[in-house]
Amino acid sequence: MGSVTAAISNATVKLLHDYTGRGPTKARTYVNENLITVVLEDTLTMGERSLVRDGEVDLVMATRKAFQRTMGPELVAAVERESGRKVFAFLSDNRADPDVAVESFVLVPKAEGAPSGDDSGV
């Protein structure tokens, strides 16, 4: 399980870095039966932090939402690849203070009686 969560965290950080020029400094992935959630901290770029200080929080959050929409298919593909599960829905949100983001992936439920390998849901 640790290698799956680490791989998902790493893939998420890499994509954010590729799209924004800076990745978060902390990422932790949580896996439940039909849900994978990545919690990211310290995500904003220096420019975004400056805009937040100047009261432009809505602008920064709108830009982050645009990045999330654009990155969504790649994030979903990474989670599906690393977890071996199909994603049913992707949800994403950010906050400026504290600087935290959440990427959540709702998984297609496993077929009743399908072998699970373990009880982690992945």
Name the pLDDT band for 119 (thresholds 50, 70, 90).
very low
Number of domains in the chain: 1
pLDDT tens digits, one per residue of 83-104: 999 999 999 999 999 999 999 9
Mean pLDDT of 13-32: 94
Within a domain: 119: no
Within a domain: 76: yes
Within a domain: 122: no
Q: What is the pTM of this model?
A: 0.86
Within a domain: 113: no
More confident residue, 77 or 120: 77
pLDDT at 121 over 50: no
Q: Edge-to-edge strand order for the sheet containing 87-95?
A: 26-32, 35-41, 100-107, 87-95
Within a domain: 120: no
Within a domain: 98: yes
- Number of residues that make up the chain: 122
Name the pLDDT band for 114 (thresholds 50, 70, 90).
low
Within a domain: 37: yes
Q: 107: buried, middle or exposed (CB in 10 Å: 19+, 13-18, 0-12)?
A: buried
Within a domain: 115: no
CB neighbours of residue 93 within 10 Å: 13
Q: Residue 96 sits in which domain range?
A: 2-107
- Pick the closest to residue 36 from 27, 25, 45 (CA basis): 27
pLDDT at 115 over 70: no
